[in-house]
Structure formats: C-alpha cells, structure tokens
Structure 1
Amino acid sequence: MSITPSAAALQEAEDIADGDAPGLRRTPRRRKPGSNMAKQYPMWFYLPAGILFIVLFIVPTIASFYFSLTRWSLFDIQFIGFANYVQFFKEPALVQGFTNTFIFGFVTSALKVVLGLLIALVLTGRIIGRTFLRAVIFFPVLVSTIGVGITFKVLMDPFDGLINNALAVIGIQGPAWLTDPALAIYSVALVDVWRGVGLATLIFIAGIVAIPQEYFEAAKVDGASAWNSFWNITLPLLRPATVTVIILSLIGGLRSFDLIWAMTKGGPGFSSDVISSVIFKQYQAGFFGLSAAGNVILFLVVTAVIVPIFWALNRKQVEQ
C-alpha cells in the first residue's frame, strides 16, 4: 500500500529545509567571498588612486622609455634608437657601479633584517622606558637623508672626525672611513643601516605584538625554553613581516643615491659609485637621453632582482 504525502506535508518539508518552519531558527545562507565587494566599493571609489597612479607612475615610466631612445635637450629631440643603451654599457664606472649596487643593497638589507629583529625582540620585552626607546630607534627614519649624510661625513673625517677621535682615546687608530677605496661603500652602508633600521624594527614589533600570547603560554606549560619558543613560534609567525622588511630594504638599497652622493659623491675615484650615481653624473654632463637609458636599466635590474625573491619568499610562506 503506497502512501502519498499531502500538499501540507510537502510544504512543511520545504519550510524545514529552508529554515522557515515554526519554532526553528533560520540559518543564514553562507555568501560567497567577495560577493558584496562591488556594492561596498563602487568602481568610482578607485578613481582618485588610479588617476594618481597613472599620472605619477605610468606616464613618467612611458616617458622615460621614450626619452631613453632619443638624444634630447630642452629645445631639440632626435630619435637615435638603442644608441644610448650601447653607450651606457661602455661607461668605465659601470662595472664598479653594478658591483657596488648589489653590495650596498644586500648588505644593508641583511643588516636591517637581523638588527631590526633583535631590537624588536628587546623592545617588546618587559624593559623600562620601552616606549621612549622605540621612539629613539625610529627617530633617524624621520631625519633628512641629505642631513644624515652631511653629518656623518663630518663625523667620519679621518683626522678631525668625532668617531676617530673617540677611538684614539682608547688607543685605537680609526680607519679612513670615506677616503679608503676599500671601505667607502661599506661605511656608507653602515650609515644607511643606522638610519633605516628603525622602520624594520617597527614592522617587526607590529608582527610580534600580533602573535597570540596563548601560543607562548602553551609552549611554557609544555616546558619549552625561550629559544624554542622563538625558533618554533615567533620566527615562523613573523615570516610576513620578515618578507616585508627584506623587500623594502632591498628595493631601497638597490635604488640608493642620496646618502651615497651626500657622503662620497661616488668617490674616491669610482670606488663607491652605484648605478644611480653613474646616471646622475651623466645628467650633470648634459647627456639627458643617456641618463634616461640608465634609469630604464636600473628599473629593469631592480625588477629582475626583486620579483624572483618576492615570488620565492611568498611561495615558501604559502607552502608552510
């Protein structure tokens, strides 16, 4: 004997499935991620940022590519193809400039990561004057780069500089920081680290503070030492902050110019020249198209270095 459900029973079953039956709490349907993104942020909302990006980045980039293919002045433009690029690679200081660019970029980036992490660990601990010390560490970031360069140029004077005079008091003969070809680029790198480590420290502090304390409490209950907690909890969870510091420091180091120019102007000789200073010297000499070609080359070099590193670091982050 077959039983045919009534229309009322069918309606009640549908109500139960939809959560509309009497006495039942309606379960909200899960929405797809980003389904309301267009409603929350209409397209016109992005127009100001898009216009600024086009005007301040896209247009100058395209103009640089064009002018790099010309010989130009304020009154005349002559298209010469890739002759500027060929001439730029014949510059006597270019090989030294490439070498110093990579030395400066990787040395400063590595030191900022290591020192920034160590200082951040100290300044997130229970120490007296923690807020004041954070402000002191970050203060050099706010100072003019040219001002920092001129100040340290005076401090690092081999004869009358305060640094060498202080070393002489304890019986140490200070080196020729900025006049020794073997030391000049490293001396400027140390000053750049002093100036920029505050930003790296701030990023690491933000990352450390964001780590839930429950992880450390559970590790302490399990008998983990401070080193084990750092190695297995703090360091892995700080990977996003570490990637940020590495990328920002490396981009800044590879593009650095103002501090080097203020302290050494690429000297002595070509010993502290970087790609940016070689470009500026061509601009000073009136070879505007040649300097534009150098800027394009610098852009491609920085892109070729940063993109693979950024991809590799983020790939490891996703895998973990």
Structure 2
Amino acid sequence: MKSFYPSWFFIPAVVMYVVFFAIPTFASFYFSLTRWSLFDSQFIGLGNFVQFFQDPQLWNGFIHTFEYGFATSAAKVVLGFALAVILTGPILARGYLRAIIFFPVLISTIGVGIMFKSLLDPFHGMVNAVLGFLHLPQPGWFTDPALALGTIAAVDIWKGVGIATLIFMAGIVAIPNEYFEAARMDGASSWAILRTITIPLSRPAMATVIILSLIGGLRSFDLIWATTGGGPGFTSDVIASVIYKQYQAGFYGLSTAGNVVLFVVVTAIMVPLSSFLNRKTVEL
C-alpha cells in the first residue's frame, strides 16, 4: 500500500498532460485530414497537405523560418555565454548589470514588438530622428524588404539573450572553484582557463540554451506579427505566419495541416539534436 500511495500524486499531472497536450495533438492530426468548420467536417485524407505544399509562399516561409531560427539561436548562444563569463567575473556593479540584461525577458513579446515598431518607425521613430540629427541614413527598419527580417531577429536577440545569459551563469557558477584555483596556481592564462575549463564544463548549459532558443526561433510568430505582420509583402513571413494567414482566410483544415507540418519539422530537428548534445555532454 505504501508503494502504491505515491502514484496518486501523478494523476493531476497525467490529467493535465492528456487534456492540454495529448488530446489537442491527436485532434490536430485528425482535423488536418478534414475540411472542417465550426459545424461540420469532411474527411479528405492528405488533400490539405498537398494544397499546403503547393502554396508558393510556403517555401519562402520555410527558408525564412530556418534563417531566423538558426541566426537568433546562434547569436543568443554566443552573446549569452560572453555576457555570462563577464557577469560571473569580478566587475563593478555586477548585480545591476545582471538586472539590466535580464529585464527584457520580463516584457511580453507583443509589448516588445509594439515598442520597437514605434522606436524604429521610419518617419516618427526616435532611432531615425537621432540618425537624421547626425546626418546619417534613415532606413525603413520594418518597411524595407532587405532589412525587415534581420531587424526582427535583432529585436528577438535583445529580448531573449537575458535568459540565455542566466542559464550560462548558472552553469558557470556550478563549476567547482577548485578547478580555477588549480589552473591559476599552474600559471594558466585567462584564455586558457576559459578554453580548458569554463567552456567544456558549461556544455550542459550550452545544450539547454541551444535547444530552447532554436525551438523558440523555429516557432516564432508573435514578434513578427506584432512588428510587420509578415511584410512588407511576404519578405518576413515564417511558417507560423503563413499558417495564421490561412486561418484568417477561413482555411481551417489547411491551417491545421500547417500546424502539423510545423510540429513534425521542429520535432525532426530537435530530437536528434537533443540526443547529439546530450551524448556530447555525457562523454565529457
């Protein structure tokens, strides 16, 4: 009886998992095979998927999704680690600087999008006003097709680098201080300590940052929608925004099929990547 009793504590978690993940997931797979509305549905097999992959904007969205996801993820890993190394060292106002870097994480993504859309407005934004005062070019950050997606990625990095820094800081602080002391006694330089101790022993934190940031980048939608809505034209569309536009147009089965495609793509990338990173961590 004693061994059976603790199993009751799993029931709330199992119920929540089934209600909020398992049932919606299986329902999405089913509805992706139908042409449905709020009142009825018609089974059409793989018709939605065929139509989805014939959408000329889909491949554009795929390319943008991978560019955006890998670029933002790489930047968060590099900047997050560099900031963590600095903020765990003996610097002035360390606590204050930590708070400043982490603060953007606390702002809602939609709020960040609205704020930067105002700041980077080509005609009335503060950034272009300063550039104009300095007699520098005043680009259309969100209205120039060549700049829109890159600008959104930069805003995403600004917002997300704080959580990456926090994870790296936790990993660095967890490294036994004896390793650093022994290296200094042996005359190791700061660069040697970073290369032989800090980086290798931070790999578990690095794996976490890579996985979380890449999943977030590949599923990104709200910041893009709040700033450009996928425009100008289709130049900043990602898979998620293409799916949402199909939903807005009333193609519910088609948009559900798109969600399934996105789920499969993210899973197909993240499962082997997670296995690879964890294997590397264990071997260390």
Per the alignment, do residues 91 and 214 of structure 1 end up closer, same or farther by CA in structure 2, a change over 3 Å counting?
A: same
Describe how 1:81-230 pairs up with structure 2 within 5 A: 81-230=45-194
Task: Provide the rounded CA distance (Å) in 2 between the counterparts of 1:249 and 1:192.
Answer: 10
Describe how 1:5-154 pairs up with structure 2 within 5 A: 39=3, 42-154=6-118
Structure 1 window deviating more from structure 2 (293-302 vs 134-143): it is 134-143
State TM-score, norm by structure 1: 0.86
CA deviations over 1:17-67 (Å, ceiling 9, x no partner)? xxxxxxxxxxxxxxxxxxxxx959822222211111111111100000001
Task: Provide the rounded CA distance (Å) in 2 between the counterparts of 1:122 and 1:174.
Answer: 33
Counterpart residue type for residue 103 of structure 2: F
Q: Match for residue 236 of structure 1?
A: 200
Structure 1 window deviating more from structure 2 (132-141 vs 254-263): it is 132-141
% same residue: 65
Greater helix content: 2
Moved over 6 A (4+): none
Counterpart residue type for residue 73 of structure 2: S
Counterpart residue type for residue 10 of structure 2: Y
Q: Match for residue 303 of structure 1?
A: 267
CA deviations over 1:163-211 (Å, ceiling 9, x no partner)? 1222233332132211111211111000000011110011011111111
Task: Provide the rounded CA distance (Å) in 2 between the counterparts of 1:285 and 1:108.
Answer: 30
Q: Match for residue 229 of structure 2?
A: 265
Choose which of 268, 276, 279 in structure 1 pairs with 2:240: 276
Task: Provide the rounded CA distance (Å) in 2 between the counterparts of 1:135 and 1:59.
Answer: 40
State TM-score, norm by structure 2: 0.96
Counterpart residue type for residue 81 of structure 1: G
Counterpart residue type for residue 137 of structure 1: I
Aligned residues: 283
Task: Provide the rounded CA distance (Å) in 1 between the counterparts of 2:4 and 2:167.
Answer: 29
Q: Which runs of 5+ in 1 are unaligned?
A: 1-37
Once superposed, what is the RMSD of the aligned Cα atoms? 1.4
Structure 1 window deviating more from structure 2 (52-61 vs 38-47): it is 38-47
Task: Tell me how far 1:262 sits from its aligned partner.
Answer: 0.4
Task: Tell me how far 1:319 sits from its aligned partner.
Answer: 2.2
Task: Provide the rounded CA distance (Å) in 2 between the counterparts of 1:163 and 1:217.
Answer: 46
Task: Provide the rounded CA distance (Å) in 1 between the counterparts of 2:24 and 2:251.
Answer: 18
Q: Secondary structure at the residue paired with 1:78?
A: strand
Structure number with larger C-alpha Rg: 1
Q: Match for residue 11 of structure 1?
A: none
CA deviations over 1:249-300 (Å, ceiling 9, x no partner)? 0000000000000000000111000000000001101111110000000000
Q: Which runs of 5+ in 2 are unaligned?
A: none
Q: Secondary structure at the residue paired with 1:120?
A: helix
